[in-house]
Structure 1
Amino acid sequence: MSVISSFLFFFAEKIRHVNLIIEQGNTSTKVAVYNKKHMEASFVFKDFGVEVIPSIFKEYPLTKGIYSTVIDKDDELVAYLESNLRDFVFFDEKVSLPVKVQYKTPETLGRDRLAAAVGANYLQPGKDLLVIDAGTAITYELIDASGSYLGGNISPGMTTRFRALNQFTRKLPLVVEQEDVPLVGTDTETAILAGVVNGIVCEMDGYIDLLRLKYPNLLVFLTGGHSFYFERRLKNSIFADINLVLTGLNRILEYNVED
């Protein structure tokens, strides 16, 4: 094989596994490009639609893709992806998974929750795992060492709690996150700040402590937009990985589509 032929073969092998990952959430959409297991690029869009995608196709030789959404499916986007990708997966309850789901109503299970569980299981196989996703909502997902997704919990996220106190009361102000959080507030604003942030920290640490009574070797992943905000505030040791859902989606895509 000539040098040029060898280079072309290597280049073809390199681009053969370029994946497009789309994670559409409640407030923003994350888009990532993976070459096999490696993330090559990522983007965040507040406003997202089919008009955004062509520029990414021009930049990267995409061959496979997966689209996950927790809001209404964008049919125009799905049609574009189906026409421009060799292999495309719309992530719904019919898609095969590398974990066993024991949730009683899998059709109602948020795709982001499930993808985070798959991502954690992929990064730490054979371990009991708790995934905490701190975003608009705070979700808790439990995966045991056999690779079974056992279920999870949902509670309001930090920003959601701040807004709820402001919107559903007559006089409480709207407070935003801050770095310095007292244990006990000394005025209304710091009382809200301390109540919300410390309440979430106690909630997270409380779940971890309770679950470790049953799963002593439990590993904990923290992800989501506020993951790094809470990482240093928790007393328990955790793995902070803001791209855990994207990792899980890429794993699901690879699991369903052969090269």
Structure 2
Amino acid sequence: MRILTVDIGNTASKYGCFENGVLHETAAVQTVEQLLHIAERLQPRHAIVSSVVEPTTAWATELQRVVPGQVLEFLPATTPLPIRNAYGTPQTLGADRLAAAVGAAWLRPNADTLILDVGTAIKCDWVEGSHTFWGGSIAPGLRLRFQALHTFTERLPLIEMPADLGAPVPLTGADTQGAIRSGVLNGAVAEVNGLIDSYRAQHPNLGVILAGGDANFFQPRLKGRIFVIPELVLIGLHRILVHNVEE
């Protein structure tokens, strides 16, 4: 069975095409019209649309023109899930966080998992034993931190991410730009490593999954064994759709 998953994010939107449970194609998508052309080419049986920035109705309506089966709009508060959602306010929960939790539960059955989704925001979420999503934390991402220092001060310049994400970031900045880089980049790494340490102290057998646009920056700087799964949200959306179609 061929399934199309669509994740509309803050800075980018992506689609994934799954064939019998295996992700065969993924890429960025800019508009509803572009997605429609992709769906016409791929001819999926079913589709799911998720968004953290805008209602999914327009995207789902267009997809329904070319998708013969179900086009599911993923709503964290009401869509049936293959895991338990223990979040206190599901109506305010980001669809990407919950989809990532479903993906983590599918990939690591019966295992405690910490999800680190590092992009526009740095999201840290805990899934207990592959069956319960409890929530976690949300903090500004790297670019938001650079932007905040520039926007809310009079003289600090706007610093861009380094071109070489693997290059060391000096701990001590020898000038203002270097000090900002150290504060934002080294500070964020220390913050995330501290979260990992705190969760592992409570859950010694915890596994860590890293996803998001800045995963390549964080991965070599984090402690312990880290599973890097860039398409975690798409994998979770696939499992949510399968769960609903099979029901």
TM superposition score normalised by structure 1: 0.90
1-side partners of 2:194 and 2:39: how far apart? Answer: 45
Q: Does 1:30 align with 2:14?
A: yes
2-side partners of 1:146 and 1:234: how far apart? Answer: 23
Counterpart for residue 69 of structure 1: 51
Q: Does 1:87 align with 2:70?
A: yes
Q: Does 1:110 align with 2:94?
A: yes
Q: Give 1:123's match in structure 2, choosing from 95, 107, 115.
A: 107
What displacement does 1:38 show?
0.9
Over the matched positions of the two proteins, sequence identity in percent amounts to: 40
2-side partners of 1:200 and 1:246: how far apart? Answer: 25
Judge conservation of contact 1:223–1:241 (CA < 8 Å) in 2: yes
Judge conservation of contact 1:66–1:88 (CA < 8 Å) in 2: yes
What displacement does 1:175 show?
0.8
Counterpart for residue 98 of structure 1: 82
What displacement does 1:118 show?
0.8
Helix, strand or coil: the match of 2:221? Answer: coil
Unaligned runs of 5+ in 1: 1-16
Helix, strand or coil: the match of 1:193? Answer: helix
Judge conservation of contact 1:121–1:147 (CA < 8 Å) in 2: yes
Helix, strand or coil: the match of 1:257? Answer: helix
Counterpart for residue 53 of structure 1: 35
Give the aligned length. Answer: 241
Judge conservation of contact 1:222–1:239 (CA < 8 Å) in 2: yes
What displacement does 1:74 show?
4.3
What displacement does 1:146 show?
5.4
Which segment is superposed worse, 98-107 or 55-64? 55-64
Judge conservation of contact 1:224–1:242 (CA < 8 Å) in 2: yes
What displacement does 1:142 show?
0.5
Judge conservation of contact 1:208–1:236 (CA < 8 Å) in 2: no
Unaligned runs of 5+ in 2: none
What displacement does 1:95 show?
0.7
The C-alpha deviation readout for 1:72-119, integer Å capped at 9, x for no partner, is 114332212233321111000211111111111001000000011111
2-side partners of 1:84 and 1:61: how far apart? Answer: 7
Structure 1's consecutive aligned runs of 4 or more residues displaced over 3 angstroms after TM superposition are: none
Q: Does 1:20 align with 2:7?
A: no
What displacement does 1:60 show?
1.1
Helix, strand or coil: the match of 1:152? Answer: strand
Letter in 2 for 1:192: I
Helix, strand or coil: the match of 1:84? Answer: coil
2-side partners of 1:171 and 1:99: how far apart? Answer: 48
Helix, strand or coil: the match of 2:246? Answer: coil
| Cα 1:70–1:42 shift into 2, 3 Å | same
Letter in 2 for 1:202: A
Q: Give 1:209's match in structure 2, choosing from 172, 193, 197.
A: 197
Judge conservation of contact 1:205–1:236 (CA < 8 Å) in 2: no
Q: Does 1:172 align with 2:156?
A: yes
2-side partners of 1:113 and 1:239: how far apart? Answer: 17
1-side partners of 2:49 and 2:215: how far apart? Answer: 23
The C-alpha deviation readout for 1:231-254, integer Å capped at 9, x for no partner, is 001123211111111111111111
2-side partners of 1:153 and 1:230: how far apart? Answer: 17
Q: CA RMSD in A?
A: 1.3
2-side partners of 1:81 and 1:57: how far apart? Answer: 7
Q: Does 1:141 align with 2:150?
A: no
Judge conservation of contact 2:211–2:230 (CA < 8 Å) in 1: yes
